[in-house]
Amino acid sequence: MNDTLFLYRFFIKDALRGIADKPFLRKKSGRVMLGTVIVGAYAAYIFFNVKSVADMGIKAGDVNDSLLNLTLSSFVNVMTIAASLMFVFSQASMVITNRALFFAKKLPFKNKEVSRAQALFKITLAAVGYELFLLCAFYGIKLIAKNAWQWIAVFLLLHMVFIVTYGILNILLQLTVRIFKHRKASTVYFIVVSFLTMMHFEETRFTVDYFFGRSGFQYNNLLIIFFVAAFVLSSIVIAFHLLADLREIIVFKPKFISVPCLPMPIRVSWHLKAVLRTPHACITLLLFIFLVIARVQWGTYKECMYSFVDSWPLTGVMFLPYCDSTFDMRVMNLHYGIKPVKEWFMLISTFAIIMLPTLAVGLFYGSNETVLYYFMGISLCAVSTLIGFIFPRSKGGMNEFFSALIFMLVIVMLIILMKTSWGMYLSAAVFSVLIYVFLNADRRLSK
């Protein structure tokens, strides 16, 4: 057990290497500015969230059991989705560096101890990400908790949801790898889980919520049923992991892949190539295509187009690897005459062009919030680029996980901001200005 804890601490220290080593974060002013932006964004999210709940004027004692049951089911469904995404991010994006693996394998540690340390390390990261999502949703628990015991029951229930979801997905991952015995089996598994999670978020969770809303159960009885079921399943999952011989899956990912790039205007081609050459972009586009195809099968063509309008902005996540893709040649920018203001202009132009499909399709089909979704897409592209600057994947094993986690939290905040058009326009302007600040600071500090 001591060896496991030693390796666990070593993996954490090695993964954190590079987060604070970025030129922008070496100075106190950079750290203060980053902290101010994060705290300000979270404060704005809490303000709009509290204001929305206050405007509804809903209290748990003012609604009937049917609405309480539906809301409880919705909470469980959303947190199940969050737990599934945390599993995928911790397993697929959390890459233990070759240096750490070499250290663990060469020194006299048993393979079982190394595997346990890796598993503990990844579940810790997933739990931290899940807690951040729970923190964002915690204020809403007042809608389904009328007294102290209900608060405690809901709080424990949502934590057991994480244990059950993570444990079951990990068991299925182990079975998939052992049955197919192919090095790409885990990658396919993560894509399938991500796709099913997105489909559940888009479609099936509403069916589940309405089922429990019409079930006729008293709210207290349904809460007890959920709690007992989650307790039993979490106990089974924990016992299985303790007794079974589960080996941790090690994922190796290439930094670039060969992708043909069509001739483009010179001002956008360099940035698109830096993004499209990464596996991250290919998987993002693949998942989006699968989601659109599924929506065509489940609904009408017009509904699919409406779904396209509000889903395409999420492809802004493709810009997360931008900084990492251009990291090695960034010091040569001055020699090529690429000043920060020029790179900033090219990036903003690229964001605007990438998000044109949302604007075109939305205006053609008369979507009411087309312009808001367009600026939301630009905001997400800018946020992805900023996060990539702060957490470059090649400079730390945990950077990619933190990047994906922060991006998801920003999505939640932007969805809240969509209730006020000025909030969305302001966020797009602020994030765009921050990109220039980061580019300028990175150029000055890297000299």
- Give the whole-angstrom CA distance, residue 261 versus residue 275: 11
- Give the whole-angstrom CA distance, residue 26 versus residue 34: 12
- Do the Cβ atoms of 80 and 162 come closer than 8 Å? no
How would you write the pLDDT of the chain (447 residues) with one tens digit per residue? 677 777 777 777 776 665 555 555 666 676 677 677 667 766 666 666 666 655 555 554 556 778 888 888 888 998 899 899 888 878 776 666 666 666 766 667 677 777 777 788 888 888 888 887 887 777 677 777 778 888 889 889 999 999 999 999 998 988 888 888 766 777 788 888 888 888 887 778 888 888 888 888 888 899 999 999 999 999 999 998 888 766 665 555 555 555 555 555 545 556 677 777 776 777 777 777 777 776 666 666 777 777 778 788 888 888 887 877 776 676 676 666 677 788 888 888 888 888 888 888 888 777 677 888 888 888 888 888 888 877 776 666 666 667 777 777 777 777 766 666 777 788 888 888 888 887 777 666 555
- Give the whole-angstrom CA distance, residue 174 versus residue 186: 9
How many CA within 13 A on the CB side of residue 343?
Answer: 24
Q: Over the stretch 38-76, which tens digit does the pLDDT of each residue have?
A: 677 666 666 666 666 555 555 545 567 788 888 888 889
Integer CA distances (angstroms), 65 to 77, 155, 182, 214, in order: 18, 19, 49, 9
For position 410, what pLDDT does the model report? Answer: 76
- Do the Cβ atoms of 351 and 397 come closer than 8 Å? no
Which two structure tokens, joined as six digits, stand for 386?
């900023």
Q: Under 8 Å CB-to-CB from 111, ≥6 apart: which residues? A: none
- Give the whole-angstrom CA distance, residue 189 versus residue 78: 21
Show me where the domains of the chain are located: 60-243, 273-445
pTM, two decimal places = 0.73
